Amino acid sequence: MIRDALLIARKDLLIEWRSRVTINQVAPLGLLILIVFAFAFDANRNLLTKGAPGLVWVGVLFAGVLTVQRSFTIESADGITDALRLSSISPVAMFLGKAAAVGLQLFVLEIVLVGGAVVFFDSRIGDPVLLIAAAVTGTGGFSAIGCIYGAMSLGVRVRETLLPLLLIPVVAPILLAGTRAFERALDISTQAGWNWVGLLGVMWGVYLAVGTLAFGPLLEDG
């Protein structure tokens, strides 16, 4: 199963490498969100610095929705879902492979966005270990739940508008916990950041469990 999951992840990353949608379109969009906020709150730098963790996660949220959408658009084109169903790859391996590919792309995106926060919002990284742990667990949870909803939207004609509508409310707890952990990692608050990382880890585990159970039936219905 791990071999099959790696096969799917490698294929998705190869498609991204060839098309460069995340690099050329999604990452610039995430940075653009930060820049727009930098212009909007430029008169109040203090507010901008304090709000940086939340703004980074807002960037991750919108860029993440686009990444998930892209990941499932390539599967619905040209009847590819049928070919996946005719293959020997288990739905669990497909889910884990797609979640891994989306997660890796989002993690790279987060590095870019945190860099953007340092440049545009004068953020200072106080606890890099906490920052990386929160980014990994938050991204893992986001990509897992994103792939569940991505599979759910496979057969839907209005997927482009429906997916954000369904996904954004569901990932709100990740946004909240990720923001709190980032606040501690960027030296904005003194509250215990690792508790929020723990919560992100629990959400990641739950979403992975749900995904491994639900992905097969969702693929059949799609």
Partner 1 sequence: MAAAIDFRDVVVLLGRFPALAGATANVCEGEVVLLRGPNGVGKTTFLRTCAGLNAITSGSAEVLGHDLTADRNNVRRHVGLLGHRTHLYDELTVGDNVRFWASTLGIAESDAMAAADRVGLTGRLLDVEVQRLSAGQRRRTALAVVVARRPRLWLLDEPHAGLDHEGRDNLDELLRQAADAGATIVFASHELDRAESVADRVLEFSGGRIERDDP
Which chain residues interact with partner 1 by CB under 8 A? 4, 7, 11, 14-15, 18-19, 74, 77-80, 82-89
Q: Name the residue nearer to partner 1 (CB basis): 94 or 106.
A: 94
Indicate if the alpha-carbon torsion angle 145, 151, 152, 153 is positive or negative: positive
CA–chain centroid gap for 120, Å, is 22
Q: Work out how close the CB of 219 gets to partner 1 at its nearest, in angstroms, rounded to a whole number.
A: 11
CB 146 within 8 A of CB 103: no
Q: Work out how close the CB of 8 gets to partner 1 at its nearest, in angstroms, rounded to a whole number.
A: 9
Length of the chain: 222
Q: Work out how close the CB of 145 gets to partner 1 at its nearest, in angstroms, rounded to a whole number.
A: 25
Q: Name the residue nearer to partner 1 (CB basis): 18 or 157.
A: 18
Rounded Cα–Cα distance for residues 219 and 208 (Å)? 16
CB 33 within 8 A of CB 58: yes
Q: Name the residue nearer to partner 1 (CB basis): 154 or 170.
A: 154
Q: Name the residue nearer to partner 1 (CB basis): 91 or 140.
A: 91
Q: Name the residue nearer to partner 1 (CB basis): 79 or 169.
A: 79
Tokens 């890099």 correspond to 128
Rounded Cα–Cα distance for residues 5 and 2 (Å)? 5
Query: What DSSP character marks residue 42?
Result: T
Q: Work out how close the CB of 185 gets to partner 1 at its nearest, in angstroms, rounded to a whole number.
A: 36
Whole-Å CA distances, 118 to 31, 163, 196, 210: 12, 31, 22, 36
Q: Work out how close the CB of 83 gets to partner 1 at its nearest, in angstroms, rounded to a whole number.
A: 4
